Amino acid sequence: MEAVTGVSIVIPTLGNHAVLFETLDSLRRHGGNSAEVLVVCNAPEAAAEALGKEVSARHPEVRTLVTPRPYGIAQACNVGWRAARGDKVVFMHDDVLLRDDAWLGRLSEVLDHRPDVGMVGGSEGKFLDRTPETATGSWQDARECDWSPTISMTRKSCLADGCLFDEKYEVGLEDKDWALSFRRRGLKVFFRPVDHVHVGTRGSYTLFLENKALLDYYTREGVRERYFLAKNRDVLAPAYVARGLAKWGRRDRDWGKTWWVKLYLRYYLRRVLRGFV
């Protein structure tokens, strides 16, 4: 497979953590040299400045951008694609370690051969209101799905045409909502696997949740879920919307989930320990 040109890779990040640099190293080793790479720092000003200096020192080929306001992955994605020079844009988590030299070409091929596909992901193919049996589109080893997070490629023209990230989502649901913007325009979402490791628990999607304001935001899950369902009821199956609204009702928290309690405890424990340092 030939080298792919005209691609920009946007990596939203919150902090100066080791896995981000492992991600950039893996890009350098596995095909990223042919693409423009943009790290979009969504941290407070001082942390963003420090991160920019370290990225420039270790990866001078990478462009570093800073968002107008701290926090908010959807905002960082929008800042990134608007600054991108490529005709195609990849949004990638900052804790992805690539192991496939041909991954850019594999994703790009789908968009080149299928004008009815608006976005193709390389990490996971997930479903919302449909099943693999009812989402039947395919091309070679690529298959239709409802959303495909973590590594996602689209055309810049789709973004300019309104397939944007909704900045009302600071963290969580922004990728599902974005995927449905393609469906609204009559475009499919595909998944074509690329070889990689998604570290998952050490990147910014975890670091975001160690910030108190965002911890409070994240526990208001019901508010976001109701907004997501109301906004997208024109393209989601009515039964799916009805089930979601019935599940959440007026509740903001799912008390069956304990992970957010653990995050709160970890946050306050770190505050206490810092007080003894």
pLDDT in tens, 69-95: 887 889 999 999 999 999 999 999 999
Mean pLDDT on 120-127: 96
Do the Cβ atoms of 148 and 124 come closer than 8 Å? yes
- pLDDT, position 170: 81
Distance of CA 122 to the CA centre of its chain: 12
Neighbour tally for 229: CB within 10 Å: 18
pTM of the full structure:
0.90
CATH top class, domain 7-198? alpha beta
42-78 burial, b if ≥16 CB within 10 A, otherwise e? bbeeebbeebbeebeeebeebbbbbbeebbbbbbbbb
Give the separation between CA 158 and CA 135, rounded to whole angstroms: 21
pLDDT at 277 > cutoff 50? no
Where along the chain do its domains lie?
7-198, 219-276
The distance between the two most distant Cα atoms of the chain, rounded to a whole number of Å, is 60
Output DSSP code: residue 101: T
- pLDDT, position 212: 66
Output DSSP code: residue 2: P
- pLDDT, position 1: 39
- pLDDT, position 213: 67
Cβ within 8 Å of residue 104, ≥6 positions away: 4, 7, 31, 32, 34, 35, 90
pLDDT at 190 > cutoff 60? yes
Q: Is the dihedral of CA 236, 175, 111, 78 positive or negative?
A: positive
**How do strand 63-66 and strand 142-145 relate by DSSP bridges?**
unpaired
Mean pLDDT on 169-184: 93
